Amino acid sequence: MEYTEMKIRSDDIFKGKIVHLHVDEVELIDGSKSLREIIEHDGGVTVIPVDENGDVYCVRQFRYAFGESIVETPAGKLEKGEEPLACAVRELSEETGFTAEEYIYLGEFYPSPGYCHEKLYAYLALGLRKGKAHLDDGEFLDVVKYPLDTLVEMVMNNELCDAKTIIAILKAKRYLEGLK
Amino acid sequence: MEYTEMKIRSDDIFKGKIVHLHVDEVELIDGSKSLREIIEHDGGVTVIPVDENGDVYCVRQFRYAFGESIVETPAGKLEKGEEPLACAVRELSEETGFTAEEYIYLGEFYPSPGYCHEKLYAYLALGLRKGKAHLDDGEFLDVVKYPLDTLVEMVMNNELCDAKTIIAILKAKRYLEGLK
């Protein structure tokens, strides 16, 4: 059965650089009313770059929301009107300096569909060539290299905590093993 | 290297039922200043219940942020002071009616660490016994059953879009195959 929710009204609360928050009143299928707190977000990409030895280049950066540095696959936000693949090429180069001969689409996903409209696109980058990283102003991170199989073990041992990174690693592993 | 960011000030923007938004001014390691738009969220759990035939019970529900119904593993928010495992037991029962003999911890993860403090805990539930679902007021969903291997194929074919669901499926698959 399709349980839609009808918008009655929408109140803008905040429009920032990253998030846009609005609170909507909705009518549920039983006629009752409820509020939905919704974050709009432009979305982004993540790229898992795997070289010919099976090594993966990740980034380690401070995440203010958690007050800790975490290991993630290279990633970034979509710019206005930017195609996800172009964003993947740009972010991989900016954060790690790598370009890739081939980008394989690993799918898209919603990090928090209960309250957030963010959509992320994932790519596997193969045929890597090293160039020079060129970070945005105010962006600080270290590039860290791990064998893909080590990253899979880290995922299973709960040593990696970023959702997009976990998805990119486990999907890339299955893809490269020819598992569907 | 550790790239911390020091809080200079924090402005509360909105405290709702689900999200709490504040904007903080921070000092970066080069002495420059920046703003961080941060969502606080109480966090939650997801449970992937797998029966003795390898079938998984998911839920299909409308997600207002995307205006569509999507398939997800059963999940819910942590109540005040609630332990993640207790939340997993409660949400599985509320949404599907199942209780489980065994809950295996599949790890925790951050859906959007760039701007959101939400943390999700994942569990694999085995030894299922069917009871009666008892949804919260205003909660509408259908329980849908798929073989775990079908769900893995759906993940690899980009037919499932919820991040926690993708992680729960791929981690449960590796766990049940004895792959670390």
In B131-173, which ranges are E strands? 142-147
Question: pLDDT by residue (tens digit) across B47-57?
Answer: 999 999 999 99
Question: pLDDT by residue (tens digit) across B71-127?
Answer: 999 999 999 999 999 999 999 999 999 999 999 999 999 999 999 999 999 999 999
In chain B, which ranges are E strands? 6-15, 20-27, 33-40, 44-49, 55-63, 68-72, 75-77, 98-109, 120-130, 142-147
Residue A26 pairs in a beta bridge with A7, A34
Q: Residue A179 has what pLDDT? A: 67
Q: How far is CA A45 from CA A58, A65, B136, in A?
A: 14, 20, 35
Contact B23, A16 (CB under 8 A): yes
Phi-psi region of A165 (alpha: psi -120 to 50; beta: other; left: phi over 0): alpha
Question: pLDDT by residue (tens digit) across A103-116?
Answer: 999 999 999 999 99
pTM exceeds 0.95: yes
pLDDT exceeds 70 at position B179: no
Q: Give chain A's mean pLDDT.
A: 95
pLDDT exceeds 80 at position B180: no
pLDDT exceeds 70 at position A57: yes
Q: Rounded distance, CA A162 to CA A150, Å?
A: 16
State the ipTM, two decimals: 0.96
Q: Rounded distance, CA B88 to CA B70, Å?
A: 20
Q: Quick one: closest CA in A to B159, which residue? A: A107
Q: Residue B102 has what pLDDT? A: 97
For residue B93, give how far its alpha carbon lies from the nearest alpha carbon of chain A (Å): 19
Mutate to test the interface with B, among A38, A39, A142 (most CBs of B within 10 A): A39
Task: Choose the closest CB to A69 out of B2, B28, B179.
Answer: B2
A159 phi/psi in degrees, rounded to 5: -100, -5
